[in-house]
Amino acid sequence: MAAKTSASPAGRPFDRQAMLKEAGATGLVIFALAFGLLGFRTLDVPGGIDIQYRFGDVAAAVAIGIVGRIALILLRERRPLPVLLTAPPLAVVLLVVLLSKFLFGPETGAELMRFLPFESLVVMWAILIVIVVLGLRAARVHTHMTSVMTAEERDARMDRIGAKVQRAARLLGPLLLGIAVVFPFLPFADRRLLDIGILVVTYIMLGWGLNIVVGLAGLLDLGYVAFYAVGAYSFALLATGLDVSFWVALPFAGLMAATAGVLLGFPVLRLRGDYLAIVTLGFGEMIRIILLNWYEFTNGPDGISGIPRPSFFGLALFKRNVADGHAFHELFGLEFTPIHRIIFLFYLILALALVVNIFTMRIRKLPVGRAWEALREDETACRSLGINPRNTKLTAFGIGAMFGGFAGSFFATRQGFISPESFTFIESAVILAIVVLGGFGSQIGVVIAAILLIGLPEFFRELQQYRMLAFGMAMVLIMIWRPAGLLAHREPTIRLFGKGRAKEAEP
């Protein structure tokens, strides 16, 4: 079909009226949306609230929508010439106007800028990017006459890319690990960057933990944050109440979370898919609400403060003056700086995350791991092969929860203060988004997704108000183009031919 249309691009009937109708419909939709959202704005003025009318912006949005739609239709109908001719000049003009401040000085710049619709420059830059992309696509259509790939072609191509990245992951993995290891000592690694690094690695660890449940065992868990909370509170209560050190409490916190995981697992064993997701969602909320209301035990909404910082493996503390015992900087004869503790925390979470990764890599090649994947594929067939679905699911829940618990303990000791507010549903959603975006079951995909979803927004804090917009947009695009995730390529756990390759899949 594609060959036929590309062979006779001009011979294809082109319905101008249909095009205008479609563009008009787009304009109507945009008008309906923009009229309310863009058209009015409440302003704080002395003595109350005033309404600012921005119908110019509404008109601009509708016009941009209609023109953009027409361009898309033209590309779809393989008539790229009008787009090709209008996009470059438009882009240049827009670019010049946007940069006019620097090109012609601030006054002329301000003068020119007044012609632009919308207050926010970010939107204009986004529009510029769209115009450039449209222009490039038009050029492609013009030269190849095959710009619009069919869904299968695109899927196949993305699969190839996924396989390539997966292969590259064997190099990329150690490379990223190397970067992570030297990261605290890089000249630009200040306190803020280290904090972002710790945050990203925490989410990578959570993503890897959830990946066991969702990616391998195929059990959609919307309440993963519950185990994170159980781990954090276990550690916090042990540390503040019984004065147990981090290293002793860590396994216990993991155990508590695993127990919570198995407890959740039992009632949901029979549920699949959506029903399971709903129950896990409820479980996550239950834990949060218990933490919020069990005031005598958890301190309720006030949270737990004064959680001790981790010591250097029980040998030394990260303090300037230590009454009894040693201080880290004295032990190593260094000058005291508070950054030592941050660096230590970074390595701590990195090590924890690597434990999860190595564990997952290994367990995938063990009978349990294969049974998890088989269970994801077909539970009935598993039963017919003598696999116990109950125990297999419970191990997945338990182990996934245990790693969540470890991450929770780390979170508690890093923050020094926890409250139920840290464990809301949105956390579960973000962790799940990391797994889905990265590609179910893909370890390196989780890393990339965590950097994209957690790291980048931290860098672009100035664009705060667009963060969730971009986040949502990214998720929608992924669901359209790559429903199985960015890197949904699955590496076999064992090969009959070329077994050497299977061994190299370590991180």
Partner 1 sequence: MSAETAVAQGATSLDLAGPIPGGGEVRLTVEHLTMRFGGLVAIDDVSFQAADGRITAIIGPNGAGKTTVFNCLTGFYKPTVGRLALHHPKGEFLLERIEGFRTAQDAGVARTFQNIRLFPRMTVLENLIVAQHNKLMRASGYTVFGLLGLKRYREAEEKAVELARYWLDRTLLTKAADQEAGNLPYGDQRRLEVARAMCTEPVLLCLDEPAAGLNPRESQLLNQLLMFIRDEHKMGILLIEHDMSVVMGISDHIVVLDYGRKISDGTPEQVRSDPAVIRAYLGEDEDEEPVGETAAGQESAAREGDERDA
- C-beta of 191 vs 383, nearer to partner 1: 383
Backbone phi, psi, residue 385, to 5°? -100, 5
- The span from the CA of 356 to the CA of 211, in Å, is 10
Asked if 270 touches partner 1 (CB under 8 A), the answer is no
Q: How many residues bind partner 1 (CB under 8 A)?
A: 31
- C-beta of 119 vs 377, nearer to partner 1: 377
- The span from the CA of 95 to the CA of 101, in Å, is 11
How many alpha carbons lie under 13 Å from residue 308 in its C-beta half-sphere? 22
Binding mask 333-372 for partner 1 (x = CB under 8 A): --------------------------x--xx--xxx-xx-
Residues 6+ apart with CB under 8 A from 34: 57, 58, 61, 62
Site for partner 1 in 142-201 (CB under 8 A): none
* Alpha helices in 212-327, H assignment, sequence order: 225-241, 246-268, 273-293, 295-298
Backbone phi, psi, residue 327, to 5°? -105, 145
Site for partner 1 in 381-400 (CB under 8 A): 381-389, 395
CB 223 within 8 A of CB 428: yes
How many alpha carbons lie under 13 Å from residue 393 in its C-beta half-sphere? 24
Residues 6+ apart with CB under 8 A from 65: 26, 27, 29, 30
Q: Mark the segment that binds partner 1 (CB under 8 A) among 128-136, 241-249, 459-467, 496-504.
A: 496-504
- C-beta of 387 vs 412, nearer to partner 1: 387
- Kindly state the smallest distance separating residue 152's Cβ from partner 1, in Å: 14
- Kindly state the smallest distance separating residue 18's Cβ from partner 1, in Å: 40
Site for partner 1 in 117-136 (CB under 8 A): none
- Kindly state the smallest distance separating residue 382's Cβ from partner 1, in Å: 8
Q: Which of 494, 500, 503, 504 binds partner 1 (CB under 8 A)?
A: 494
DSSP 8-class letter at 51: E
DSSP 8-class letter at 324: S
- C-beta of 128 vs 484, nearer to partner 1: 484
Asked if 380 touches partner 1 (CB under 8 A), the answer is yes
- Kindly state the smallest distance separating residue 452's Cβ from partner 1, in Å: 25
Retrieve residue 276's tokens: 């399971």
- C-beta of 154 vs 495, nearer to partner 1: 495
CB 179 within 8 A of CB 380: no
- Kindly state the smallest distance separating residue 375's Cβ from partner 1, in Å: 9
Asked if 483 touches partner 1 (CB under 8 A), the answer is no
Residues at the site binding partner 1, with contacts judged by CB under 8 A:
359, 362-363, 366-368, 370-371, 373-374, 377-378, 380-389, 395, 490, 492-498
